[in-house]
Copies of this chain bind each other. A is one copy, B any other.
Amino acid sequence: MSTLPSDDTDPVEVLSVEECWSLLRGEEFARLAYRLVDEVHLVPLNYVVEGDGLLIRTASGNKLLAAALHSDVALEIDWHDDTSAWSVVARGRLRRLEEHEHHRLDGLPQQPWVPTLKYDVVELVPSVVTGRRFRLERHAGSTA
């Protein structure tokens, strides 16, 4: 692929902010890490980019995500094949969208993965977005 690092001596390439957003717009499945007292939690979810935010639809009353509203979170997407990998992390705080803001989901591709009657929508407006691309040196004869 054309996105391999151009410098053969450096296996890690830092992605530009524009590249990170482009990758975020191209995915819908991510993991959200957040802190609850001293514990770190990690949950898979789907999201959609709208404006400068990431919109996440969650089952109403999701206790874990409610807890995430009170601390900094990190949302990560990644991809890999046998020769390269990339990872993008968006950091910031979550806020719950008011009912009158739910129209921001209209026309967007995000649908709930898990069917549930009632949803809340939370938004992550990242304060920092970072990404890296790795050139991989995989083992021959993978046991995967």
**Chain A interfacial positions (CB closer than 8 Å to B):** 11-12, 26, 28-29, 31, 33-35, 38-44, 71-76, 78, 80, 85, 87, 89, 91, 109-116, 134-139, 142-144
**15 A-B interface contacts by CB (under 8 A):** A11-B116, A12-B114, A31-B42, A31-B76, A31-B87, A33-B42, A39-B72, A40-B40, A40-B71, A41-B89, A42-B75, A42-B89, A44-B78, A109-B142, A114-B134
Contact B109 A137 (CB under 8 A): no
Contact B139 A109 (CB under 8 A): yes
Which B residues are in CB contact (< 8 Å) with A11? 114-116
Interface of A is mostly: strand
As for how many copies of this chain the complex holds, the number is: 2
Which B residues are in CB contact (< 8 Å) with A138? 111, 113
Which B residues are in CB contact (< 8 Å) with A115? 11, 135, 137
Which residue of the partner chain, among B44, B80, B116, contacts A85 with CB atoms under 8 Å?
B44
In the complex formed, the residue of B with least CB distance to A68 is: B40
Contact B29 A80 (CB under 8 A): yes
